[in-house]
Amino acid sequence: MAAARAFKAPLMELPILVDGIESEIDRHFLDHFNHTVSRILTLFTDDSNPFKEILLPMAIRHKGLMHSLLCLSGSHLASRDKSQAYNDRQQYHFQCALTNLRTDEKLNASATGGSKDPIDDPTVAQTLVLCLRSICNGETNGEYRPHMDAARHLIVNNQSQNEQFGLFLFEFFMYHDVSNSITSLDRRPLLLTEDFILPTFIMQPEAGALLGVLDGLFGYMSKITQMRDKIRKRRMGKLEPCVDYQTLSDAVTIDNEIRLWHPAQKEDSDRFIAAQLYRQATWVYLYRTIKPSVRNDKIVDAVDQGLELLRHLPSDAAAQSILLMPTFLLGCAAFDERQRPEIEKAFDGLQSYSNLGNIKPAREIVEIVWRMMDEGDENSWDWETIIKNNGYDFLVT
């Protein structure tokens, strides 16, 4: 008894329960991811949200993915609250996430062609989460590129055995991949690759986490991007006409396909309205591609119709998470000055809803396009080059 009383047990330090969640700030990051960040990245707001249903359970078992989710959440908080403590902590998680990727033996072997062993799903998920961090931070120097390139490599060479995760990965990557091509001169969609084969697990489009991928609209957008490349080359070479017969024929075919396309969503839902907006934006993209960059009643009417659809989407609707790209395209087609305050209001609404950092540079480019339009500058057609000439490289998602 005396010996027992004499013994002074040291206070044992308990191990970390979940790798990555190590402090009070980390717990705050986790809550913010669950309640806010996961909501502003997808059409889902309930328990079927793939960020909560798929990625979060994965992260509990994989410290690299948990660090990635926490740095994404911390980036969003730091940009919103301007907190140095949040910024320092999200940088810590970012470095931990990168270290995990750099030391992943399977990933390194796959990247060098030394192995065909499947990459673990959480490692694949990390690449997209880190790409989202770039969007959150409003990075404009192409910081997203290595993460998108890694995701592309894994999409092509690594098929997940988890069908639910495989579908989420495919849809999420394709959405960002096609959207990337709308603002870049050298990023072209995987959908345009001749030997690319669509996965066999494609599901019903109304169940998608985003819009455009599963319902076919992004296939049309990819073809329009390809068309823009051809027209841009002819414009640079001063070849007349800029739109040759084959391009015109392709445009007429796409125009007919867009007209025949119908939303798969329920007609009384916000998703149905958002799907119609995407259809409208796709047609606007086509028109702005094959027509001179001058005001015309057709494009004015088309933008008016797009703005009418925007008005019917509540400011707190989940669809706000996917409206930057169509808002950007409508903005780049707003020749009528009376339309511009509503475009600005839409950008304000997106900023209030998500506070994602890429909204500001997207709006800045649209305002430059407006100035060029008003000056009668035909180069207002080429917003991709405008973005490059302003030293920007960002995702409009």
Lowest average pLDDT, out of 8-17, 223-232, 234-243, 294-303, goes to 8-17
Indicate the pTM of the whole model. 0.90
Instruction: List pLDDT tens digits, range 48-86.
Output: 788 999 999 999 999 999 999 999 999 999 988 989 999
Q: Which two tokens stand for residue 368?
A: 């430059």
Q: Is the torsion defined by CA of 58, 64, 66, 72 positive or negative?
A: negative
Instruction: Render pLDDT for 308-319 as a digit per residue (tens, 0 to 9).
Output: 999 999 998 888
DSSP assignment string, 140-159: -BSTTHHHHHHHHHHHHH--
> How high is the mean pLDDT of the chain?
89
Report the percentage of the chain scoring pLDDT > 90: 64
- Res 111 pLDDT > 80: no
pLDDT at position 337: 97
Tokens 């989940």 belong to which residue? 318
CA distance 301 to 336: 10
Can you tell me the distance from the alpha carbon of 344 to that of 350, in angstroms, rounded to the nearest whole number? Answer: 10
**What percent of the chain has pLDDT above 70?**
89
Q: Are 261 and 268 in contact (CB under 8 A)?
A: no
Asked if 322 and 274 count as a contact pair (C-beta separation under 8 A), the reply is yes
Tens digit of each residue's pLDDT (9 = 90 or more) over 147-184? 899 888 888 887 788 888 888 888 888 889 999 999 99
Average pLDDT in the 368-395 region?
97
Q: Residue 310 in contact with residue 346, Cβ under 8 Å?
A: yes
Single-letter residue type at 341: P
pLDDT category, 99, cuts 50, 70, 90? very high
Dist. CA 161–CA 139, nearest whole Å: 33
Q: What is the pLDDT of residue 194?
A: 55
> Of the ranges 35-49, 119-133, 350-364, which one carries the lowest mean pLDDT score?
35-49
Q: Dihedral (C-alpha) 393, 299, 356, 358: value to the nearest 10 degrees?
A: 10
The confidence score (pLDDT) of residue 201 equals 46
| Residue 266: band (very low, low, confident or very high) from pLDDT cuts 50, 70, 90 | confident
Question: Looking at this protein, which amino acid is placed at residue 360?
Answer: K
Arithmetic mean of pLDDT, 9-27: 90
Angle at 79 between CA 74 and CA 83, to 5 degrees: 75
Q: Give the separation between CA 179 and CA 217, rounded to whole angstroms.
A: 12
Closest CA to 323 of 363, 289, 377, 295: 363
Q: How confident is the model at residue 203 (pLDDT cuts 50, 70, 90)?
A: very low
Please confirm whether the linkage preceding 341 is cis (ω < 30° from 0).
no
Using DSSP, state whether 352 is helix, strand or coil.
Answer: helix
Q: Give residues with Cβ within 8 angstroms of 328, minimum separation 6.
A: 182, 183, 362, 365, 366, 396
DSSP 13-25: PPPPSSTT--SHH
pLDDT of 202 strictly over 70: no
The DSSP 8-state label assigned to residue 240 in this structure reads: S
3-state helix, strand, coil in the chain (%, to 5): 65, 0, 35
First to last CA, the chain: 69
Sign of CA dihedral 373, 179, 298, 251: positive
Q: Worst-scoring range by mean pLDDT, 151-160, 230-239, 380-389?
A: 151-160
Q: Taking the alpha carbons of 327, 330, 335, 338 in that order, is the dihedral positive or negative?
A: negative
Alpha helices in 237-269 (DSSP H): 245-260
Q: What pLDDT, on the 0 to 100 scale, is given for residue 207?
A: 45
Residue 117 has pLDDT above 90, yes or no: no
| Model confidence at 277: pLDDT above 80 | yes
Q: What integer pLDDT is reported at residue 43 of this predicted model?
A: 73
Of 40-44, 151-155, 208-212, give the lowest mean pLDDT range: 208-212
Q: Which residue has the higher pLDDT, 40 or 290?
A: 290
Question: What's residue 5's pLDDT?
Answer: 61
Most confident segment among 106-120, 135-149, 239-253: 239-253
pLDDT value at residue 213: 61
